[in-house]
Chain A
Amino acid sequence: MSSLATVASNPTSNLPLHTISVLVRNQPGVLVRVALVFARRGYNIESLVVSADPANAEFSRMTITCSGDPETLEQIIKQVAKLVDVVRAIDHTGQAVVETEIALIKIKADLTERTEILQSAEHYKAKVVDCSASSLVLRVTGASEKLDSFITLLRPFGLVELVRSGKILMTRGPEAT
């Protein structure tokens, strides 16, 4: 977890990654409307997490990471904010936020390699959540860059499956994001 929203870069385009949080009214189609604003410009959404507002079921929060040149992204955010069902849309790049991500990693792990994998897992504070004779499922949480680095480390052992939640984020202090 970092104190400032990080500007990691998209591995394929080298453009900075931005994290945008969008507070929406929980109406059918709102996800499509938001996604279409990105799609119209040919922008790829890297990850998108939707969670219901615990205090008011009428609202949901989307956390979107995507890359792109800042000017176009600013325009996209304005156009997202303009949607009737969007209450607000904010790019948190550079703001004081708490951000994290979770990944589940299924990896080949026979007895000869298991110790080494578990040592790496301990180093990254990953938990073993499933175990079979030839595989492990690890759960790791933290900054997206930490997850990237852990996954890179595990890759040579043979990744069977990888699921990442996408980055979630919340501003620090008493105000809502």
Chain B
Amino acid sequence: MANKNGKKTTTSRKTGGNAPKAAGSTAQSGGKIASGGEKVVQCLEREGVEVVFGLPGGAAIPLFDALYESKIKLILTRHEQGATHMADGYARATGKPGVVVVTSGPGATNTVTGLLTALSDSVPMIVLCGQVIRPMLGKDGFQEADVTGITYAAVKHSFLVKNVEDIPRVLKEAFFIASSGRPGPVLIDLPKDVLASPCAAPFVDKVELPGYHVPEHADPAALKQAAAFLAKARKPILLVGHGAVLSNAGKALLKFAEKLNTPVVNTLLGKGAVPEDHPLNLGMLGMHGTAYANKAVDGCDLIMSIGSRWDDRITGKLSVFCKDAVKIHVDIDIAEFGKVLRPDVCLAGDARLVIEDLLPLVGRCDSDEWMDQVGTWREQFPLHYPKKGGLRAQHILDRLDQLGGRDSIITTDVGQHQMWAAQFLRTTKNHHWLSSGGAGTMGFGFPAAIGAKLGCPDKPVWAVVGDGGFQMTLCELATAAVNKIAVKVLIINNHFLGMVRQWQELFYENRLSGTDLEGNPDFVALAEAYGIKAFHLRRAADVDKVLETAMQYNEGPCVIDAEVVKEDNVFPMIPAGAALCDMIIEPPKAALEKPTGST
């Protein structure tokens, strides 16, 4: 149903359809004082919010009521977790905070996974939760949960609003905190009686947070020190992480790498900051990174991390990681310095500004031999996969890359398909690779794609998902269908929780415990039941045809069920806790020891 702005929402307006609507959205008219809920929505409008994702409930009705007259588009999701991943995908694709609106109790607790996902990957998000009325707080009323308490460890910051007059200040602070510095999720808990009370407080434009400091430019002395180390390096390498994506440091980084004459590797989340089809880019490093990226990191004499946190997925066994190399660490979050390892130089600041400031201080490194060596590794150990023996995920993703996938926004779930996608889909643009890295949240990919498409309607958006992860949030097929969101869902369907199965095969004597997804539905029939276009993909010969058909279909979502080889493995692989030099490049012939790393 369309409202006065011609917008469509997913809610059916059985009541209030004829209600008179005030001009100017929810703005005050005729001296009427806004309710708390209306004030919240007015604040969202002032922050430039275009879309919110959520699902109502008793305590959140005043918020949804205020949204009824707003120009903000409401996307009704089928589960609150889906709402958080949509907001997350929207935020990663646009750089603007994603907004979630849910109710109290279970509505709010369903956002916890999404909050953790956003926190782990530094994604700006605002979660607005309805809460029981103030006199009922702490009394175990219906749908009461101590939401601020439950989420302390999963948010960048949170607010419980007990005074309606605080709403404009809290909303302003929340958006500022979520999107500045190292971004992250902020939760606002709003008791229903606060939402219903009149709010006369004026809007707030300035934020005063005496304990909140965001470094911008790095210390000049530290910059000089870094430049001196770089001048001496013969085998330098740049390690590009999500911080570089978030700060749009890519252009500066490419100039920097070209000037220095150094190769670039990126983390899973750093994909796209520097185009992966650029000759200096060696692609992803780490557990399932390219062999040449890992060899280069293992052999370097200087490694400079730009917005990466030396995650265990990339360092492997820490005691031997780049043991004799100089380490330079650029991060906007000073709590990252020294957390995992002790860098020789720490540059606290925004990645883009730091690199721009460093650019005039550096010259070309004496690294021609090193570049030759890296080039040799690239030729010696290319990514490859068997061309025979059935339909393989690698082949599909390789073809998707060639047919335009590398310039599309790609979201993924977590597991084998994610690693194959990271390997074979080269990301060429910033904010185009959206994957749950830190938290490793299955079920992320599909809703994240919906959010990304809403944020970037003109860009093609592919969700590459596994049959396991997809089933965790596939209820959002309804959301995609009813809103005609033209995302393309590519299910890499191997009827297994494939990554765990791979570990069980390699390290646990193939004792396949809890990994067989027997009972999968027919995903094509399922999608069609939602009125969604869907394709089977079973033969390698059909890959291009099916992918191209999906690319040309833009009237709504579509689903490709790609039934791939059931027991394929992701290589290269560095077993958890092993050193980079212990990388397994080819499928092993003998049984392997159990990994010592945590996961």
Contacts and interface: CB of A to CB of B under 8 A. Distances in A.
Interface of A: 23-25, 28-29, 32-33, 36, 40, 71, 74-75, 78-79, 81-88
B211 A29 contact: no
B17 interface: no
Nearest to B149: A32
Interface of B: 148-149, 152-153, 156-158, 160, 177, 209-212, 333-335, 337-339
Given A29-B152, A71-B338, A78-B337, 8 more contacts: A29-B160, A74-B338, A78-B334, A78-B335, A81-B335, A82-B334, A82-B335, A88-B211
A78 B336 CA distance: 9
Contacts of B337: 78
Nearest to B210: A87
Nearest to B182: A82
Nearest to A76: B335
A75 B211 contact: no
Contacts of B148: 29
A35 B65 CA distance: 38
A82 B333 contact: yes
A79 B335 contact: yes
Contacts of B334: 78, 82
Nearest to A77: B335
Given A28-B160, A29-B148, A84 B177 contact: yes
B129 to A, nearest CB: 15
19 contacts: A24-B211, A25-B210, A32-B152, A40-B153, A74-B338, A78-B334, A78-B335, A78-B338, A79-B335, A81-B335, A82-B335, A83-B211, A84-B156, A84-B157, A84-B209, A84-B212, A85-B211, A87-B211, A88-B211
Nearest to A33: B152
A30 to B, nearest CB: 10
Nearest to A82: B335
A108 B362 CA distance: 75
Contacts of B177: 84
Nearest to B181: A82
Q: Which of B212, B335, B338 has the most chain A CB atoms closer than 10 A to its own CB?
A: B335
A81 B181 CA distance: 14
Contacts of A29: 148, 152, 158, 160
Closest 9 CB pairs of A and B: A78-B335, A87-B211, A84-B157, A82-B335, A86-B211, A79-B335, A87-B210, A84-B212, A36-B152
Given A32-B149, A40-B153, A84-B156, A25 B211 contact: yes
A84 B153 CA distance: 13
Given A71-B338, A78-B334, A84 B160 contact: no
B187 to A, nearest CB: 11
Contacts of B333: 82
A90 to B, nearest CB: 13
A36 B158 CA distance: 14
Q: Which of A75, A82, A83 has the most chain B CB atoms closer than 10 A to its own CB?
A: A82
Nearest to A80: B335
Q: Which of A28, A74, A84 has the most chain B CB atoms closer than 10 A to its own CB?
A: A84
A86 B213 CA distance: 10
Contacts of B152: 29, 32-33, 36
Contact of B338 (A36, A75, A81, A86): A75
B219 to A, nearest CB: 16
A25 to B, nearest CB: 6
Contacts of B153: 36, 40
Nearest to B340: A75
B333 to A, nearest CB: 7
B210 A75 contact: no
B186 to A, nearest CB: 9
Contacts of A25: 210-211
A88 B211 CA distance: 7
A122 B508 CA distance: 69
Nearest to B334: A78
A81 B152 CA distance: 16
A87 to B, nearest CB: 4
B184 to A, nearest CB: 10
Nearest to B211: A87
A53 B184 CA distance: 30
A102 B343 CA distance: 42
A96 to B, nearest CB: 25
Contacts of A87: 210-211
Contacts of B211: 23-25, 83-88
Contacts of B338: 71, 74-75, 78
A71 B342 CA distance: 10
B385 to A, nearest CB: 41
B120 to A, nearest CB: 14
Contacts of A71: 338
A141 to B, nearest CB: 31
A85 B158 CA distance: 10
B156 A75 contact: no
A28 to B, nearest CB: 6
